[in-house]
Structure 1
């Protein structure tokens, strides 16, 4: 579905590749100007930038696990774009750490990293962006990338599942508190979808079982998830503020 172009100013975190790249491209194709954030993959982020249609897009780098850097990233993006109308919180880490196999020191470190990036960076960027939206008086949109794993559990990635559940809850809290300012907040909860990071799994022995998770017999695409993000960020989706939109090909159904 094509959204009407509004020439918005959009910050996408974690946009050097994968879903972030697809989201950045979708907004650019919609006529919006995008700040492409990256943590360490500057070359890949530049590839994202070069692949986007339109003009006025910018790169902003920084480790979002550091609260001061997160604030600087938001400031640089809003200064470069002249403001911010849409924030997409996509940056995340996802490291395998089943409890029975993970030494305690490693367990603690992995949990701290997941909380710092997946949850606290999302909260901190949301604060910075929302405060700018409030001061500008134009309203805005915040879309968080959650996960199906927040509902069904992630036995090999428990910190990922837990932090994504927290991201959903954060989004719903902000949806209520920011509505009086015309700011809608929602989340997307993807299932398994194809990116560079999981390409080896889809080419390996578990590929058939992964595809069989969905009755469609396939995994999703980053572009399909990006289209859901684009819709939730659109003017038409204000009444869907607070929602957690499942995008998992009927692979997990909540009741």
Structure 2
């Protein structure tokens, strides 16, 4: 049930831009075939697809907040790639909602959205992909994108921090239950990293303070995070199953 070092079939959720795009590019450069999932940003997803090295990649659109939508995404990826060896759960939302400034109606809606996308979509895709890997009898890898905020708290984004903590816990539970099938499950917990979405913050007045969070005096690149995802998906990383890998440039150290 050992995975090959390349030539694998990889589904990356939320891969239209940002970290998802960097992850898709890392797998493609490794010689893997990638299903690029998108929710609504089809034009961005096409740009991701066009940027990938190699051939055999595919776009897969679908609403992951709906369990049926998640099933369709996995079905389309499986049909296009001939199976799934690696799942990267990257799709997420992160809406600012500090309690003191947020109405109850908005608060409830934001929490429902974060739970649906960040947690339930991750759980549903993991179930679907893992059952497929079990049926294939080839082993597999699941890597979840968590967050430093799961440990240090997110006062302006509490639903994000809470759901990412749940994603970490989910990954560790699945690591234990899926190991007998040769499926390793791990999570990464990035700190602040540069993407198109956060570029205005990094270029604005708070940019220097954000960079000073790390003693390196900078933030990570999406490519650095993607490299860790690629390694955790590799054959040599099986013994790291169950880990939560901190990727925050020593900006937050947990015991």
TM-score range, shorter chain: over 0.9
User: Counterpart of 2:122?
Assistant: 122
Residues 62-107 of structure 1, C-alpha deviations (whole Å, 9 max, x = no match): 1100110001101110111000000000000000000000000000
Q: State the distance in 2 between where 1:24 and 1:250 align.
A: 26
Q: Which residue in the other structure is 2:235 paired with?
A: 235
| Residue 152, structure 1, aligned to residue 157, structure 2 | no
Q: 2:85: which partner in 1? A: 85
Structure 1: which 4+ aligned runs deviate by more than 6 Å?
A: none
Superposition map of 1:1-255 within 5 A: 5-255=5-255
Q: What's the secondary structure of 1:63's corresponding residue?
A: coil
- 1:105-144 Cα offsets, whole Å, 9 max, x none, are 0000000000000000000000000000000000000000
Q: Secondary structure at the match of 2:197?
A: helix
Cα RMSD, aligned residues only = 0.6
Runs of 5+ in structure 2 lacking a partner? none
1:5, distance to aligned residue in structure 2 (A): 4.1
Whole-Å separation in 2 of the counterparts to 1:155 and 1:253: 18
Q: Whole-Å Cα distance in 2 between the matches of residues 100 and 157 of structure 1?
A: 12
- Looking at structure 2, the residues matched to 207 and 105 of structure 1 have their Cα atoms a distance apart, in angstroms, of 31
* 1:45 to partner: Cα distance: 0.3
Instruction: Count residues with an aligned counterpart.
Output: 252
CA distance in 1, matches of 2:202, 2:72: 37
- Which ranges of structure 1 fall in alignment gaps of 5 or more residues? none
* Counterparts of 1:71 and 1:27, CA distance in 2: 23
SS in 2 for 1:59: strand
Contact 2:145/2:188 (8 A) holds in 1? yes
Q: Aligned with 1:108: secondary structure?
A: helix
Q: Secondary structure at the match of 1:196?
A: coil
Contact 2:5-2:235 at 8 Å conserved across structures? no
